[in-house]
């Protein structure tokens, strides 16, 4: 699915030097590379404040904690996402309220958000799934009208953008109250381990999130609020800073691969290629097709026999997960359920080449032949 070995080989001298520098200075916790990376990342995502933390799940938790929500408050989340999006909500004693997704974009269906809002609703967590932003312009309008926080789950979408009809550029993670991202190795900006970050343009909320991530302390050994311990390793920050310099190249490469896949697969009856709106910068953390006529699992097996790995993100929609059985009482999630049965993600990474894509497309053609 990814080729982290080849990706590393191309930048090995720079990465090795950055790691060695941290080791030589023994600057392991909150070292200077962490601040430097946060500053560079803040420029990259067009956001004033970046708070690095231990992983993307923590980023979501810290952002929610910084919003100061009360036990039982409701938070709207899409029914089709990685578990972390809704897990942190429930973990904090809040109530995840699921909303169905759009069949074309895979993202939260904005036309169904308002019906899910109650007097207890305090926040929306849109997910920019597979690397394409949710309809943030509409989400921000709804949030403003109902006085809600917006916490973007941009774990799969660093560098993604939308140009609105009014010519305003919205950048993934920098548009809501908070944005959260992950540096899990297979994300577009991947560490050599775990990592995450929180984005905000609000200086007060930035301070609060930073305090929460640091045991609720802004001055050492003086603890003002209950927080957690969530830090980005200095070694990871040093690696990420090198890879941030390559990120546009990685994104372009994945965009070209997506377009090669589209050209090769669009004519095949039996699959639907992912659609991208013309005013979107889609960063393709995943290239996800829909397989028609219930043949997804059969195609997956067929490709595996040809040595082609594929993944199902995600086989169970959130409202059907056992862990959320207490919350999923209301609503219909037909699209999420349909997608869980039809989506198939093909290999997608910065090192993919056109011959590999042609081979994969040939095998898919053969399957439907
Ligand atoms: C990866 C991911 C997360 C969590 O990130 P971790 O760093 O693994 O904790 C959250 N949400 C989505 C949509 C993700 O893809």
Q: How far is the CA of 321 from the centre of ligand 1 (A)?
A: 17
pLDDT at 150: 98
**For residue range 124-179, what is the model confidence (pLDDT) as tens digits?**
999 999 999 999 999 999 999 999 999 999 999 999 999 998 899 999 999 999 99
Judge whether 124 and 148 are in contact, CB under 8 Å: yes
Judge whether 25 and 31 are in contact, CB under 8 Å: yes
Closest ligand 1 atom, residue 84 Cα: 10
Q: Residue 219 pairs with which residues in a beta bridge?
A: 222
Is 182's C-beta closer than 6 angstroms to any atom of ligand 1? yes
DSSP H helical ranges for 54-168: 56-66, 84-91, 136-146
Pairing between β-strand 169-171 and β-strand 178-182 as defined by DSSP bridges: unpaired
pLDDT at 265: 97
Calculate mean pLDDT across residues 322-346: 92
**Atom 6 (ligand 1): residue with closest C-alpha?**
56
Sign, CA dihedral 268-274-276-282, equals negative
Give the relative orientation of helices 354-368 and 296-305 as an angle to the nearest 10 degrees.
Answer: 130
Judge whether 320 and 331 are in contact, CB under 8 Å: no
Sign, CA dihedral 312-315-318-322, equals negative
| Whether pLDDT at 277 is above 90 | no
Is 188's C-beta closer than 6 angstroms to any atom of ligand 1? no
Is 184's C-beta closer than 6 angstroms to any atom of ligand 1? yes
pLDDT at 178: 98
**Atom 5 (ligand 1): residue with closest C-alpha?**
56
Q: How far is the CA of 217 from the centre of ligand 1 (A)?
A: 26
| CATH code, 247-368 | 3.90.1150.10
| Whether pLDDT at 328 is above 80 | no
Closest ligand 1 atom, residue 196 Cα: 7
| Whether pLDDT at 202 is above 90 | yes
| Whether pLDDT at 102 is above 90 | yes
Q: How far is the CA of 183 from the centre of ligand 1 (A)?
A: 8
Q: How far is the CA of 25 from the centre of ligand 1 (A)?
A: 31
pLDDT at 213: 98
CATH 3.40.640.10 fits 4-244, yes or no: yes
Going from N- to C-terminal start, the domains of the chain cover 4-244, 247-368
Q: How far is the CA of 57 from the centre of ligand 1 (A)?
A: 6
What string of DSSP letters covers 285-353?
A: S-EEEEE-TT-HHHHHHHHHHTT---B-S-SS-GGGSGGGTTTTTS---HHHHHHHHHEEEEP--TT--
pLDDT at 41: 98
Q: In angstroms, how far is the first alpha carbon of the chain from the final one?
A: 25
Is 230's C-beta closer than 6 angstroms to any atom of ligand 1? no
Poorest-pLDDT segment among 162-166, 192-196, 287-291, 358-362: 162-166
Query: In the structure, what pLDDT confidence band is assigned to residue 330 with cuts at 50, 70 and 90?
Result: confident
For the chain, counts of helices (H) and of strands (E): 11, 15
Is 56's C-beta closer than 6 angstroms to any atom of ligand 1? yes
pLDDT at 331: 78
In angstroms, the CA 6 to CA 253 distance is: 14
- % of the chain at pLDDT higher than 70: 99
| Whether pLDDT at 197 is above 90 | yes
Which distant-in-sequence residues (6+ apart) come within 8 Å of 230 by Cβ?
53, 54, 55, 58, 62, 196, 213
Query: In the structure, what pLDDT confidence band is assigned to residue 288 with cuts at 50, 70 and 90?
Result: very high
Average pLDDT, the chain: 97
Calculate mean pLDDT across residues 260-287: 95
Residue whose entry in the numeric block shows the structure tokens 């939308």: 162
Q: How far is the CA of 191 from the centre of ligand 1 (A)?
A: 13
Does the predicted TM-score (pTM) go above 0.95?
Answer: yes
In angstroms, the CA 179 to CA 66 distance is: 12
Mutational pocket test of ligand 1: of 89, 184, 188, 191, the residue with most ligand atoms within 8 Å of the beta carbon: 184
3-class state of residue 247 by DSSP: helix
pLDDT at 258: 98
In angstroms, the CA 271 to CA 347 distance is: 16
What's the token pair of residue 60?
């979501």
Is 313's C-beta closer than 6 angstroms to any atom of ligand 1? no
Is 156's C-beta closer than 6 angstroms to any atom of ligand 1? yes
**For residue range 36-54, what is the model confidence (pLDDT) as tens digits?**
999 999 999 999 999 999 9
Query: In the structure, what pLDDT confidence band is assigned to residue 278 with cuts at 50, 70 and 90?
Result: confident
Other Cβ atoms closer than 10 A to 4: 14
Is 317's C-beta closer than 6 angstroms to any atom of ligand 1? no
Closest C-alpha to 362, from 264, 259, 291, 260 = 264
pLDDT at 48: 98
pLDDT at 184: 98
Q: How far is the CA of 180 from the centre of ligand 1 (A)?
A: 9
Judge whether 152 and 124 are in contact, CB under 8 Å: no
pLDDT at 345: 98
| Whether pLDDT at 11 is above 80 | yes
Indicate if 247-368 has the same CATH topology as 4-244: no
pLDDT at 12: 98
Q: How far is the CA of 66 from the centre of ligand 1 (A)?
A: 19
Poorest-pLDDT segment among 114-123, 270-279, 337-346: 270-279
Closest ligand 1 atom, residue 55 Cα: 7
Closest ligand 1 atom, residue 182 Cα: 7
Q: How far is the CA of 74 from the centre of ligand 1 (A)?
A: 21
Closest C-alpha to 199, from 339, 62, 363 = 62
């Amino acid at each position: 699915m990814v080729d982290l070995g080849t990706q590393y080989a191309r930048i090995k001298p720079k990465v090795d030097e950055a790691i060695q520098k941290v080791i030589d200075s023994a600057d392991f916790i909150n070292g200077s590379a962490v601040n430097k990376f946060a500053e560079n990342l803040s420029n990259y995502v067009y956001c004033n404040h970046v708070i690095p933390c231990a992983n993307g799940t923590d980023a979501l938790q810290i952002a929610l904690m910084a919003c100061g929500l009360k036990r039982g408050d409701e938070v709207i989340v899409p029914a089709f996402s990685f578990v972390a999006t809704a897990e942190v909500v429930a973990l904090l004693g809040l109530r995840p309220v699921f909303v169905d997704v759009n069949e074309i974009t895979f993202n939260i269906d904005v036309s169904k958000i308002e019906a899910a809002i109650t007097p207890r609703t305090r926040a929306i967590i849109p997910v920019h799934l597979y690397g394409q932003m949710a309809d943030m312009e509409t989400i921000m309008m709804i949030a403003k009208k109902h006085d809600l926080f917006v916490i973007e789950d941009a774990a799969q979408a660093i560098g993604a953008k939308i140009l609105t009809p009014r010519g305003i550029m919205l950048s993934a993670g920098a548009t809501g109250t908070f944005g959260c991202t992950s540096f899990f190795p297979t994300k577009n900006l991947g560490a050599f381990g775990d990592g995450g970050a929180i984005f905000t343009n609000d200086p007060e909320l930035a301070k609060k999130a930073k305090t929460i991530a640091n045991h609720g302390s802004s001055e050492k050994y003086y603890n003002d609020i209950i927080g957690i311990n969530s830090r980005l390793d200095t070694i990871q920050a040093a690696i990420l800073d090198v890879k941030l310099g390559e990120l546009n190249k990685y994104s372009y490469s994945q965009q070209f691969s997506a377009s090669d896949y589209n050209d090769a697969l669009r004519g095949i009856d039996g699959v639907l290629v992912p659609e991208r709106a013309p005013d979107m910068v889609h960063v393709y953390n995943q290239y996800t097709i829909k397989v028609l006529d219930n043949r997804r699992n059969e195609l997956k097996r067929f490709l595996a026999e040809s040595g082609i790995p594929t993944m199902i993100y995600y086989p169970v929609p959130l409202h059907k997960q056992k862990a959320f059985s207490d919350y999923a009482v209301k609503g219909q999630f037909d699209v999420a359920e349909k997608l869980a049965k039809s989506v198939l993600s093909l290999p997608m990474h910065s090192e993919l080449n056109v011959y590999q894509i042609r081979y994969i497309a040939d095998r898919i053609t053969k399957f439907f032949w």
